[in-house]
């Protein structure tokens, strides 16, 4: 029999209260999958931004063999978050673009154009490749970050950072051939550090992995992102060259 000394009952009660509080705090620090995904989206910059970027196709030795220019206008803090991705030729003329809007409680809306001046046309699938590169709109837009649900299945480290591993299944209305994605999320910054995408045969088809990050005015941004295609293992690097607000204030340039 466990004996509690006289006057020790209240100490046990205080200890139990402290333990209960510690458990509650731990639970708040380690949310479930949907809450972690909501925190990731909330951590995206909430001011309208323009990112000028290069999509760099690399060979098996890591050498750059082709470069495609991409402009990304994002307003994730809007009442209806939106992003526009424009692919340009070497002279700066628009070749194709995709605009995505995420209305609250409704499926995303897509607008796809080709040419200069742009003409709207149909986009069959977000897995449609961009300008003959081995990269698709699904990777460039990170549209799976808005999929509902999510389950934390593991913990891991990516580039030395502790991450929760979250698995998401594609919703029925997803405009993609991905069946599910697995995400590595840093719970300290709520940054996406890695993503693996699988088809309906449960085969790995794409991997996104952050190479470097940059902090600008308290905003964490990805500076270099590698995108691998499987089974070919071809690689395209998304390299951000400059960042500015949509009202023209330059925040960073390479």
At 75-128, the pLDDT tens digits run: 999 999 999 999 999 888 999 999 999 998 888 999 999 999 999 998 878 888
The answer to whether position 58 is within a domain reads yes
Q: Is residue 25 part of a domain?
A: no
Residue 54: inside a domain: yes
User: Which CATH number do you get for residue 224?
Assistant: 2.50.20.10
Q: Tell me: the pLDDT tens digits for 147-203? A: 999 999 999 999 899 999 999 999 988 888 899 999 999 998 899 999 999 999 999
Instruction: Render 45-73 in DSSP notation, one character per residue.
Output: --S-EEEEEEEEEE-TTS-EEEEEEEEEE
Instruction: Tell me if 199 is assigned to some domain.
Output: yes
* H-type alpha helices, 97-214: 137-141
Cα separations (Å) of 247 from 47, 77, 132, 219, 244? 10, 15, 32, 17, 8
Count of domains for the chain: 1
pLDDT tens figures, 211-251: 998 888 777 888 899 999 999 889 999 999 999 998 888 88
Residue 79, domain extent: 33-240
Q: Provide the pLDDT for residue 19.
A: 37
**Domain contains 15:** no
Task: Decide if 245 is inside a domain.
Answer: no
The answer to whether residue 8 is domain-embedded is no
């Amino acid at each position: 029999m466990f004996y509690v000394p006289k006057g020790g009952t209240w100490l046990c009660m205080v200890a139990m209260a402290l333990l209960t509080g510690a458990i509650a705090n731990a639970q708040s620090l380690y949310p479930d999958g949907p809450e972690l995904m909501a925190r990731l989206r909330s951590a995206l910059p909430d001011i309208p931004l323009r990112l000028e970027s290069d999509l760099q196709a690399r060979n098996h030795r890591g050498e750059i063999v082709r470069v495609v220019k991409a402009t990304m206008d994002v307003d994730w803090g809007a009442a209806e978050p939106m992003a526009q991705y424009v692919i340009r030729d070497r002279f700066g003329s628009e070749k194709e673009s995709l605009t995505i809007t995420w209305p609250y409680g409704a499926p995303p809306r897509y607008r796809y154009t080709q040419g200069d001046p742009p003409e709207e046309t149909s986009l069959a699938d977000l897995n449609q490749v961009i300008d003959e590169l081995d990269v698709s709109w699904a990777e460039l837009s990170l549209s799976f970050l808005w999929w509902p649900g999510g389950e934390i299945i593991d913990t891991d480290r990516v580039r030395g950072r502790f991450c929760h591993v979250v698995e998401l299944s594609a919703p029925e209305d997803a405009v993609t051939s991905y069946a599910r994605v697995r995400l590595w999320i840093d719970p300290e910054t709520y940054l996406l550090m890695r993503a693996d995408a699988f088809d309906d045969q449960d085969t790995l088809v794409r991997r996104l992995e952050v190479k470097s990050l940059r902090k600008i005015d308290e905003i964490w941004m990805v500076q270099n992102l590698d995108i691998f295609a499987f089974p070919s293992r071809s690689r395209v690097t998304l390299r951000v060259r400059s960042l500015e607000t949509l009202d023209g204030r330059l925040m960073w340039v390479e």
